[in-house]
């Protein structure tokens, strides 16, 4: 199911308020607003699991690797093995799913995690005291994030229902971004809310194989398509 919504900005309070309405799985970047929402899930009694979008992490790892100056490979010594461990895990999950399995082989998963952990530990050790114009070295910041959030990063190997990336969720956003690029903005909150409601309906219908025109025709006829209800 796809649900589009609007927030005035990505400040922690606004993002946290939006995230708290979401149940089950929430695929996020490193915005602190999401972390704030997840930290309060015990009080809210909502099922909220956070896991990092691996497409974002792979781009971040490539970005840190590009800080190297040839012929030296100080950063790539750990960014490339960490990225390779994640991509190998993705391939292993796809193979296991195709074979009808519901979990990875424990030995295979342990080997992948060990490769990942060693690479991340190297990234922390090599960048912990490395100079940077302001604050911590970005390689250290990323490595620490990968270490402390390893459970979220690797959740897709424990639960095959969790995708490796959130690309299917980001695709409906392209239409919204295109609308903003052409129109600039919405003139009122009510208009923006209505637009998000229509986009949510059409994107969800498309995810279930319903053509957008058919979904619109049914809605205008008074019999809108509805997603199947779980048992």
> What is the domain range of residue 194?
168-220
pLDDT of residue 214: 94
Q: In this predicted model, what pLDDT tens digit does every residue of 183-197 receive, in sequence order?
A: 777 777 888 888 888
Q: In this predicted model, what pLDDT tens digit does every residue of 210-227 receive, in sequence order?
A: 998 999 999 999 999 888
Residues 178, 212, single domain; the answer is yes
Q: Tell whether the model's pLDDT for residue 37 goes beyond 60.
A: no
Residues 113, 216, single domain; the answer is no
Q: 74-111 in b/e burial notation, b at 16+ Cβ within 10 A?
A: ebbebbebbbebbeebbebbeebeeeeeeebeeeebee
pTM equals: 0.69
Q: Tell whether the model's pLDDT for residue 88 goes beyond 60.
A: yes
pLDDT of residue 194: 85
Residues 6+ apart with CB under 8 A from 109: 89, 92, 157
State the total domains in the chain: 2
Residue 172 covered by a domain: yes
Residues 115, 89, single domain; the answer is yes
Residues 178, 144, single domain; the answer is no
Q: In this predicted model, what pLDDT tens digit does every residue of 122-164 receive, in sequence order?
A: 999 999 999 899 889 999 999 999 999 998 899 999 988 888 8
Average pLDDT of the residues in 57-78: 89
* Confidence category of residue 42, pLDDT binned at 50, 70, 90: very low
pLDDT of residue 6: 62
pLDDT of residue 68: 86
């Amino acid at each position: 199911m796809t649900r589009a919504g609007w927030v005035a900005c990505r400040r922690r309070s606004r993002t946290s308020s939006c995230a708290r309405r979401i149940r089950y799985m929430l695929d996020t970047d490193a915005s602190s607003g999401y972390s704030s929402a997840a930290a309060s899930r015990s009080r809210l009694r909502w099922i909220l699991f956070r896991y990092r979008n691996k497409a974002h992490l792979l781009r971040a790892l490539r970005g840190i690797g590009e800080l190297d100056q040839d012929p030296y490979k100080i950063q790539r010594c750990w960014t490339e093995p960490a990225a390779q461990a994640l991509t190998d895990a993705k391939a292993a999950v796809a193979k296991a799913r195709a074979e009808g399995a519901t979990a990875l082989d424990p030995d295979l998963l342990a080997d992948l995690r060990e490769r990942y952990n060693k690479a991340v530990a190297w990234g922390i050790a090599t960048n912990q005291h490395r100079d940077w114009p302001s604050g911590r070295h970005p390689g250290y910041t990323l490595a620490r994030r990968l270490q402390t959030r390893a459970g979220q990063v690797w959740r897709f190997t424990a639960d095959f229902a969790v995708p490796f990336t959130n690309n299917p969720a980001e695709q409906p956003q392209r239409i919204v971004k295109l609308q903003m690029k052409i129109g600039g903005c919405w003139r009122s909150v009510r208009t923006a809310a209505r637009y998000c409601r229509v986009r949510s309906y059409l994107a969800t219908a498309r995810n279930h194989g319903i053509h957008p025109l058919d979904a619109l025709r049914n809605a205008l006829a008074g019999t809108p398509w509805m997603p199947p209800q779980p048992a």
